[in-house]
Amino acid sequence: MVEEVAQALQPERGGTFIDCTVGLGGHAQMLLARGATRLIGLDRDPAALAAAREALSEWPDRTELVHADYRDLAHLLDARGLASVDGVLADLGVSSMQLDAEGRGFSFRRDEPLDMRMDPTRGETAAAVLSAIDEAELADVLFQFGEERKSRRIARAIVAARERQPVETTGQLADIVRRALSRAGWQRIDPATRTFQALRIRVNRELEGLDVFLAAAAGRLAAGRRFAVLTFQSLEDRIVKHTFRDLGRGERPLVRVLTKHPLTPSDAEVAVNARARSAKLRAVERIEVERI
């Protein structure tokens, strides 16, 4: 949704833009090419930063890439003496690069170590989480983060399987889930999809502090400038929707919500990139200071 992001953020106005999840650098390229004076790109994944550095090599004097979690945004801006910025973008969730890269453990399409960390330099792997979590908590994780209605059945199957041998690969986990749901009837998606999503969210704390980050990022916008967020699953989108709505309410609203309903990809984009089909874009604009 490059064009939709461009329309939301208006980089042609110039200024300092923050790409909180720079990934392969596609959106950052667009922002710089269309007028952003300075771009600071953050990412938890060192491999993503390496790819972004190559993609943005045309603008070395206008680009800074930082190995950081987007939830550290306020601290990073303070360290650079930036009281406000002219645009913020957050493209949430797992990236195509992470899904496709071998050895990362995000996908059940290959049998590989069950890692799932967006930042492979820190934190517990998915295998480590599965080895220690108790059955009740695991069921809660699957239900809350994967919206998996058969969470208790799956959790029971995983705990029984790990008593026989550690669950350490994506293939093992996918097989356990599929067997557990073998009598659950036809499903539109692979039975393991929701379990993998839930475990990934748990490993990376993807929803933890998301609302606080959204409010902090909106609060660092200069008057009249914009913040756009792309989500790819309903849990994230719900948090973004409600947080933006709350920031736009009350006697002293912080922002004006630009997207009453989220923008979604065009049919043409989905035709060439099927993974874009679940994307939703929401945006807000910082209200003029004198109106607050």
CATH 1.10.150.170 domain position(s) in the chain: 103-204
Of the pLDDT bands very low, low, confident and very high (cuts 50, 70, 90), residue 51 is very high
Q: Lowest mean pLDDT: which of 1-15, 66-80, 91-105, 210-224?
A: 91-105
> Which stretches of the chain are DSSP H helices?
2-9, 26-33, 46-55, 73-79, 96-100, 126-132, 135-146, 151-164, 170-180, 193-204, 210-219, 234-247, 267-272
Name the range with the highest mean pLDDT among 85-89, 109-113, 265-269: 85-89
d(CA 27, CA 292): 31
> What pLDDT does residue 291 have?
42
Average pLDDT of the segment spanning 65-82: 96
Where along the chain do the CATH 3.40.50.150 domains lie? 2-93+207-291
60 pLDDT higher than 50: yes
User: In this structure, which topology does domain 2-93+207-291 adopt according to CATH?
Assistant: Rossmann fold (3.40.50)
Give the pLDDT band of residue 290 (cuts 50, 70, 90).
low
Q: Is the pLDDT of residue 187 over 90?
A: no
Question: Starting at the edge strand that comes first in sequence, how are the strands of the sheet with 38-43 ordered?
Answer: 63-67, 38-43, 16-19, 85-91, 221-231, 280-286, 255-257
Is a pLDDT exceeding 70 seen at residue 186?
no
Residue 148 pLDDT exceeds 80: yes
Neighbouring CB atoms inside 10 A of 214's CB total 24
**Res 26 pLDDT > 90:** yes
Q: Which fold has domain 103-204?
A: DNA polymerase; domain 1 (1.10.150)
Total residues found in the chain within this entry = 292
pLDDT digits (tens, 9 = 90+) for 236-268: 999 999 999 999 998 999 999 999 999 999 989
Assign 101 a pLDDT band (cuts: 50, 70, 90): confident
- pLDDT digits over 115-143, tens only? 999 999 999 999 999 999 999 999 999 99
68 pLDDT more than 60: yes
pLDDT confidence of residue 289: 61
**pLDDT (tens digit per residue) in 194-231:** 999 999 999 999 999 999 999 999 999 999 999 999 99
Per-residue model confidence (pLDDT) at position 84: 97
Query: Buried b vs exposed e over 66-99: b needs ≥16 C-beta within 10 Å?
Result: eebbbbbbeebbeeeeeeebbbbbbbbbbbeebe
Q: How far apart are the first and last CA of the chain?
A: 32
Average pLDDT over residues 60-82: 97
Taking 50 as the threshold, does the pLDDT of residue 292 lie above it? no
Report the distance separating Cα 36 and Cα 121, nearest Å.
31
Among candidate residues 270, 94, 48, 273, the one with its CA nearest the CA of residue 193: 94
Percent of the chain surpassing pLDDT 70: 97
Looking at residues 89-99, what average pLDDT do you find? 90
Most confident of 94-103, 139-148, 264-273: 139-148
User: Who has greater pLDDT, 22 or 292?
Assistant: 22
Model confidence band, residue 95 (pLDDT cutoffs 50, 70, 90): confident
The C-alpha angle with vertex 83 and arms to 208 and 12, in degrees rounded to 5, equals 95
Residue written as token pair 């035709």: 271
Instruction: Determine how β-strand 255-257 pairs with β-strand 85-91.
Output: unpaired
12, burial (CB in 10 Å: exposed 0-12, middle 13-18, buried 19+): exposed
89 confidence band (pLDDT: 50, 70, 90): very high
Neighbours of 132 (CB within 10 A): 10
Q: What is the DSSP letter of 288?
A: P
Q: What is the mean pLDDT of the chain?
A: 94
